[in-house]
C-alpha cells in the first residue's frame, strides 16, 4: 500500500488563468505548457490501517496542508476506502527558489496515492485527478509539451502535444526573489474573472494564440514557441493588472529581467521571457543560445540564481521510497 512518484513542474506557454467552476477546478480556457526537467517533486504515499489520521511532510517539515488531505479524500472516494495515509514529499530544487510547487506536487501526489491505494487509472484519468488538486498539475502528468482542455469534468483532461525531445527549447529559470506571492493563483483567478474588463478580450484572443502555439510545436520551432509564450505572458498579465484589486505579480527585479531579455534580442540572442503568477521569470531560448543567455542573466545584479532546464518527461513511479 505504498508508492512513490516523481513529477516535473511546468511553465505555462499559453497560460491557464480563470475557472468556470471553482470546486472542480474547471479551466476557462485550453492551456499549453512545457515540463521543466530540473524542477521536480518526489512523493511517497502509504495507506495503512495503522494510521489514525493523515500526516503530511513537505521537505522534511510537518505540513498542515488541507489541499493535500482533500486530494487524498478524492482518491479514497474513488477507491471506496477509508484508510488514512502518510505522505512525504521532497522538492528536487531548493525551497528558497520561491516557485510554487503545486503542479509537480499534485501530479506526484496523484500518481503515488492512486498507485498506493490500488487504483489502476489510465494516464487521462490521472490528468483529471491531478487537475482537481491544481489545474496546472494536470499538464505535468503526460510531460513534455502538453495541453489541458477546458470543459466539464469529463473533458478537462491533459494530453501530450509534443515529446520533450521534439522541440529544442531551453528554459532559464531566473530567481530574483524568494518571498511567496501575496495572492495565490486560485484567488487571483477568481478576482480576474470577476473584475477585469480585459478577461473577455483574452478569451477572444486565445483560440488563435492556441492554434499558433500548436503549429509552432508541430513544426518544432523553439524560437517561435518562446516568442508566442512572451506574447501570451503579456496578455495574461494585462488581465491581472486590470483586475480590482489589481494583481501586480512583477517586482522591479522582474521588470529589469524583462528589459534585459529584450536587449539580448537586439544583441542577436533569440531569448523571450515568460512569467506565471509570481515574480520569478522564465527565459525561453533555443538550445544553442541557452548558455549565452544564462551567462548574461547571471551578470544582472538583480538575479540571485538560475537553473537551466530542458523539457521534462511524464510523471512516473520511482524507487526508492522516501520512507
Residues engaged in binding ligand DP6 (CB under 6 A): 12, 15-17, 25, 31, 33, 102, 134-136, 185-186, 189, 276-277
Q: Which residue is nearest to ligand DP6 (CB)?
A: 12
Among 204, 277, 192, 266, which Cα is nearest to 15's?
277
Q: How many CB atoms lie within 10 A of CB 304?
A: 17
**CB of 132: closest distance to ligand DP6 in angstroms?**
9
DSSP 176-222: ---SPPSS-HHHHHHHHHHH-TTHHHHHHHHHHHHHHHHHHHHTT-H
Question: How near is the Cβ of 207 to ligand DP6 at its closest, in Å?
Answer: 16
Cα separation, 127 vs 114, in Å, equals 12
CB 48, min distance to ligand DP6, A: 28
Whether 42 contacts 238, CB under 8 Å: no
Query: CB of residue 232 vs ligand DP6: minimum separation in angstroms?
Result: 9
Closer CB to ligand DP6, residue 84 or residue 193? 193
Q: Which is nearer to ligand DP6, 233 or 306 (CB)?
A: 233
Cα separation, 311 vs 313, whole angstroms: 7
Which residue bears the cell 471506496?
80
Closer residue to ligand DP6, CB minimum distance, 186 or 305: 186
> Min. distance of Cβ 259 from ligand DP6 in angstroms?
21
3-state DSSP of 5-28: EEEEEEEEEECCCCEEECCCCEEC
Instruction: Name which of 6 and 15 has its Cβ closer to ligand DP6.
Output: 15
Using left for φ > 0, alpha for ψ between -120 and 50, and beta otherwise, residue 78 falls in alpha
For ligand DP6, the closer of residues 135 and 281 by Cβ is 135
Nearer to ligand DP6, 11 or 44 (CB): 11
Give the shortest CB-134-to-ligand DP6 separation in angstroms.
Answer: 3
The DSSP call for residue 311 is B
Amino acid at each position: 500500500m505504498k508508492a512513490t512518484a516523481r513529477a516535473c513542474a511546468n511553465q505555462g506557454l499559453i497560460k491557464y488563468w480563470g475557472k468556470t467552476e471553482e470546486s472542480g477546478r474547471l479551466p476557462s480556457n485550453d492551456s499549453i505548457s512545457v515540463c521543466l526537467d530540473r524542477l521536480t517533486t518526489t512523493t511517497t504515499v502509504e495507506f495503512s490501517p495503522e494510521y489514525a489520521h493523515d500526516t503530511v511532510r513537505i521537505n522534511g517539515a510537518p505540513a498542515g496542508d488541507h489541499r493535500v488531505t482533500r486530494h487524498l479524500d478524492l482518491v479514497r472516494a474513488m477507491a471506496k476506502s477509508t484508510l488514512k495515509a502518510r505522505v512525504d514529499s521532497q522538492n528536487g530544487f531548493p525551497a528558497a527558489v520561491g516557485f510554487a510547487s503545486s503542479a509537480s506536487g499534485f501530479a506526484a501526489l496523484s500518481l503515488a496515492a492512486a498507485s498506493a491505494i490500488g487504483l489502476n487509472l489510465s494516464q487521462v484519468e490521472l490528468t483529471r485527478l491531478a487537475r482537481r488538486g491544481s489545474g496546472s498539475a494536470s499538464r505535468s502528468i503526460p510531460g513534455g509539451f502538453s495541453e489541458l482542455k477546458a470543459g466539464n469534468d469529463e473533458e478537462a483532461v491533459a494530453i501530450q502535444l509534443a515529446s520533450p525531445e521534439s522541440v529544442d527549447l531551453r528554459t532559464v529559470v531566473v530567481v530574483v526573489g524568494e518571498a511567496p506571492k501575496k495572492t495565490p493563483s486560485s484567488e487571483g483567478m477568481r478576482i480576474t474573472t470577476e473584475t477585469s474588463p480585459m478577461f473577455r478580450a483574452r478569451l477572444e484572443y486565445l483560440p488563435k494564440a492556441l492554434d499558433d502555439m500548436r503549429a509552432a510545436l508541430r513544426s518544432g520551432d523553439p524560437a517561435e514557441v518562446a516568442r508566442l509564450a512572451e506574447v501570451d505572458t503579456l496578455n495574461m498579465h494585462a488581465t491581472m493588472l486590470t483586475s480590482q484589486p489589481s494583481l501586480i505579480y512583477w517586482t522591479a527585479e522582474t521588470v529589469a529581467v524583462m528589459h534585459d531579455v529584450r536587449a539580448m534580442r537586439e544583441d542577436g540572442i533569440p531569448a523571450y521571457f515568460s512569467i506565471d503568477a509570481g515574480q520569478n521569470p522564465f527565459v525561453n531560448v533555443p538550445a544553442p543560445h541557452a548558455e549565452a543567455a544564462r551567462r548574461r542573466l547571471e551578470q544582472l545584479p538583480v538575479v540571485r540564481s538560475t537553473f537551466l532546464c530542458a523539457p521534462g518527461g511524464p510523471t512516473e513511479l520511482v524507487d526508492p521510497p522516501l520512507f
